[in-house]
Structure 1
Amino acid sequence: MGRTSRKKRSSLANRAIAASAALILGGGGLVALNVYASAGEGWSGSPPEQTRNEGPQMSTIDCPDVGNELADVPEEARGEVDLELAAMDTQITDAYRQFADRREQIAQDPDLAENAVLGPLRAKRTAGLDRIGIAVERSGADRPEGLEGLAPCTLRADDTGAGGGGEEDEGQEPGEDENQDPDPAQEGNGPEASDFVDIQSVQPNVERPRQRRGASRGTFTTDCGRNENGKFNPDNVIVAPGVSNGAHHMHDYVGNQANDAFASDDDLARGATTCRNQGDRSTYYWPVLRLQNGEDENDVDADGGGKDQNVGEIQTPSQVTLKFVGSPRGKVTAMPRFLRIITGDAKAFTNGDANANASWSCTGFEDRQLKDKYPICPEGSQVVRSFAFQSCWDGRNTDSANHRTHVAFAQDDGSCPDGFRAIPQLVQRIVYDVPPGPGFAVDSFPEQLHKPVTDHGDFINVFGRKAMNRVVSCINDGRTCR
């Protein structure tokens, strides 16, 4: 879609309305309201009364993540495979929309889900998986095993802790969320009140590996702004190159301004940058955060926005910090130019939390990090999203078929896995001044229900050689640089 612009800050009236509507604390828990319903989004009504107590209500579509299973696609086949994977994401989005439109009928007639939604989706996925197999074989490699088993999808309920690996228990007292069960009659596609937790009820839980002798202790901070100029699109040039709306949610961009689905490495190398250091033309992007105050955004009728069930007023961060740090075990080596790193998992609600890596907190409480809950911050404190990117590189590849195996996280002691070398670690910290309470959410694929565990960040290194060498020397020499 074309570039959209939006209001820089919510009006005081809207912020007050959102705060009073969203922050409903009482009886030790949150009232389970759906914060999307006020924006006119979601299903047209609740399930029939007689079905409400017959077990969990189905809330979303759960499909195997084909991309995660394809770690060894030959380079010659990747373009075609990426297009097929992007098509599958669109198919899931379309199927989720059909499910949402027929939710009441499906609650009464479960066969309708198979006949009208899951069966047609399975047929489309089967055909796409076959084309992926043919593309791989055409490149001279063996057909990936088990592709056919990735075709079927299921319906699933938005039950507490699903897809989040039980992170809601981290640092909390037992029984703390007893009054935050999902409302089976909820409308819309999330988030719900049980996706939020008072940060003051979370115990400190941040641990860092001890720095050894010879650790690289320096830092390099690059200032690329807060996306004040409003650069957005719902593309993802890493995951879905050449596909408009490949993300089905809107991204904030800082740094490189040439980034869209069709940007080549040469385009990025020539692109303008919002970074003060003009040697840094890297691209940094993440899903936008929206305030659920009933205000329509300029993308309300656009792909990635309202058409993909992402509604509400996009918030400009109050602060963005992009810092590169060293290794607690030794020196770091330069990143290769055009290295691509994705951290977190945009599909973690249905995939599970194996690749989830978002952290949520509040200013003044950042020793308490949440993985699968949004924080409710006290008055005067602001919401913080942070991403600590993978800090180990395989020494050969700037990308991989599943966009993960060419980089790795350091092990618990700070060392890189065998065959990997330490590189400067990007740590992003994004701060928002939003009203306290469950009145905001990040954009997501529609079927991911705007869960906080799906938050993720993307980075493409487009530092010039001299600029990257300066990053490395600052970190290895223990200096603080900008």
Structure 2
Amino acid sequence: MQWATLAAAALFAQNVAAQGTMLRFACSQLVVERTDPLVNPGMKYTPHLHQIVGGNSFNVTMDPNNDPATQSTCTSCSFLQDKSNYWTAVMFFKSKNGSYTRVPQVGNGGPQGKLINNGGLDIYYLPNGKMTAFKKGFRMLAGTASNTDPKKVKLSNICHRCWTSTSEANFVGAQPCSGSDTVEIPSDPKCKMIRQTIIFPACWDGKNLDSPDHQSHVAYGNQGGASGGGACPSTHPVKLPQIMYELMWNVTNFADKSQWPTDGSNPFVYSMNLGGPAAHGDYVFGWEGDSLQKAMDNNCNLNVDCPKAGLKAQQPAQYNACTKKQQAVEQVDGWLQALPMGEPAIKA
């Protein structure tokens, strides 16, 4: 490993140490389908495709009166007590013949160690001082699925990083959403991996568990990036754990530019048929009882058992086995004639 990479890894580790400890764990794919109970409750074949992880009580409506912590019988996340649901759009590769295929995903490495995922993403709960855990029924989203303007995205909250290493275990760069990271999806054939980071607001108004736009009841603090959020504004005074999604898209097999679109457009798009400015993530809280509050209060760390908070870390075989059949049934694997938008998708 080069000295620059070592220094970057050390810097990230120092930043984490300054925050205290953090939860960092894997979540494998529960299901990939066109549903979105936050933005399009009750709808099947929503405008774009999502990958969903977490508790298996996930459904088309997600009635806020039904607690995922009690409704779910398993979770695709490594902590047994976390029946929350987390979801994002899906990245596709568009070939020059106009067909699309999903970009595969892997777990992340980095200075805190390897995480094992069957698709899905890695979840962080980052601390910064005394925090209040989310309440039953809490939900929110980060980002805007229809946005095409990178200037409307704060780079310190939503970003992408080009990894030139063939192994995601070889840490590249410094803190998330810093340095050479971009709002746009990188389109350089030197990229072997593309890391997507979505950082959620960590300040709450203390009253509303949701809002019509799923964003107004929360706000970002005065510190961007993976910092824990910093101080909260007076309008949203309650400090929450800062949630961060981390996704590793493996683009190694798409480096041949002769297969890229001939019009010069980025071959990598999200399932809205849009680029990086439209990246977004959804969150529905579902931790059992007061387990998340205890985890924060007792400085539970990374993805290991934390007896003081009653947290039990499952083995990969356990959380990988928690899956769910599609509710909006359609083909999402292999080469597709078009993105899953409108009518059910058809294989190429």
Q: TM-score, normalised by structure 1?
A: 0.46
- Tell me by how many angstroms 1:480 deviates: 4.4
Name the residue aligned to 1:223. 26
Secondary structure of the equivalent of 1:471?
A: helix
Cα distance, 1:254–1:316 mapped onto 2, change above 3 Å: farther
Out of 53, 58, 80, the position equivalent to 1:259 is 58
For 1:428, give the aligned amino acid: Y
Name the residue aligned to 2:36. 236
For 1:221, give the aligned amino acid: R
Aligned pairs for 1:129-278 within 5 A: 216-225=19-28, 227=29, 231-246=31-46, 248-265=47-64, 266=66, 268-269=68-69, 270-271=71-72, 272-278=74-80
Cα distance, 1:466–1:361 mapped onto 2, change above 3 Å: same
- Tell me by how many angstroms 1:354 deviates: 5.7
User: How far apart in 2 are the matches of 1:415 and 1:379?
Assistant: 39
Percentage identity across paired residues of the two chains: 20
User: How far apart in 2 are the matches of 1:439 and 1:386?
Assistant: 19
Cα distance, 1:283–1:384 mapped onto 2, change above 3 Å: same
Conserved 8 A contact 2:25-2:302: no
Aligned pairs for 1:316-327 within 5 A: 316-319=104-107, 320-327=121-128
Out of 231, 247, 255, the position equivalent to 1:415 is 231
For 1:459, give the aligned amino acid: Y
Aligned pairs for 1:47-446 within 5 A: 216-225=19-28, 227=29, 231-246=31-46, 248-265=47-64, 266=66, 268-269=68-69, 270-271=71-72, 272-293=74-95, 312-319=100-107, 320-327=121-128, 330-349=129-148, 353=152, 357-363=157-163, 364-365=172-173, 367-371=179-183, 373-377=184-188, 379=190, 381-412=192-223, 414-418=230-234, 419-434=236-251, 435-436=254-255, 438-444=266-272
User: How far apart in 2 are the matches of 1:289 and 1:338?
Assistant: 29
- Tell me by how many angstroms 1:234 deviates: 1.6
Secondary structure of the equivalent of 1:426?
A: strand
User: How far apart in 2 are the matches of 1:369 and 1:428?
Assistant: 15
User: How far apart in 2 are the matches of 1:390 and 1:321?
Assistant: 17
Larger deviation: 216-225 or 350-359? 350-359
Cα distance, 1:480–1:286 mapped onto 2, change above 3 Å: closer
- 1:5-62 Cα offsets, whole Å, 9 max, x none, are xxxxxxxxxxxxxxxxxxxxxxxxxxxxxxxxxxxxxxxxxxxxxxxxxxxxxxxxxx
- Tell me by how many angstroms 1:355 deviates: 7.5
For 1:241, give the aligned amino acid: P
User: How far apart in 1 are the matches of 2:191 and 2:222?
Assistant: 36
The number of residue pairs the alignment matches comes to: 247
Cα distance, 1:470–1:316 mapped onto 2, change above 3 Å: farther
Conserved 8 A contact 2:136-2:286: yes
- 1:382-404 Cα offsets, whole Å, 9 max, x none, are 11111111111111211011211
Structure with max Cα Rg:
1
Conserved 8 A contact 2:78-2:303: no
Name the residue aligned to 1:74. none
User: How far apart in 1 are the matches of 2:194 and 2:237?
Assistant: 34
Secondary structure of the equivalent of 1:457?
A: strand
- 1:263-296 Cα offsets, whole Å, 9 max, x none, are 3242734123212222100101000111223799
Conserved 8 A contact 1:258-1:267: no
Cα distance, 1:323–1:382 mapped onto 2, change above 3 Å: same
Which segments of 5 or more consecutive residues in structure 2 lack a partner in the other structure? 1-7, 108-120, 164-171, 225-229, 258-265, 305-348
User: How far apart in 2 are the matches of 1:346 and 1:219?
Assistant: 28
Secondary structure of the equivalent of 1:453?
A: helix
Cα distance, 1:281–1:479 mapped onto 2, change above 3 Å: closer
User: How far apart in 2 are the matches of 1:340 and 1:221?
Assistant: 20
User: How far apart in 2 are the matches of 1:341 and 1:460?
Assistant: 7
Conserved 8 A contact 2:131-2:296: yes
- 1:194-244 Cα offsets, whole Å, 9 max, x none, are xxxxxxxxxx9xx99x98xxx75210123222x2x6x12222111221222
- Tell me by how many angstroms 1:352 deviates: 6.7
Secondary structure of the equivalent of 2:86?
A: strand
For 1:427, give the aligned amino acid: M
For 2:270, give the aligned amino acid: V
For 2:152, give the aligned amino acid: D
For 1:467, give the aligned amino acid: S
The reply to whether residue 454 of structure 1 matches residue 278 of structure 2 is yes
For 2:41, give the aligned amino acid: P
Extract structure 1 runs of 4+ deviating beyond 3 A: 293-296, 354-357, 376-381, 477-482
Larger deviation: 434-443 or 391-400? 434-443
User: How far apart in 2 are the matches of 1:235 and 1:217?
Assistant: 37
For 2:33, give the aligned amino acid: N
User: How far apart in 2 are the matches of 1:235 and 1:241?
Assistant: 8
Name the residue aligned to 1:473. 297
For 2:146, give the aligned amino acid: K
Conserved 8 A contact 1:397-1:406: yes
Cα distance, 1:387–1:350 mapped onto 2, change above 3 Å: closer
User: How far apart in 1 are the matches of 2:214 and 2:68?
Assistant: 18
- Tell me by how many angstroms 1:378 deviates: 5.7
- Tell me by how many angstroms 1:351 deviates: 10
Report which of the two has the higher share of helix: 1
Conserved 8 A contact 2:161-2:186: yes
- Tell me by how many angstroms 1:423 deviates: 0.9
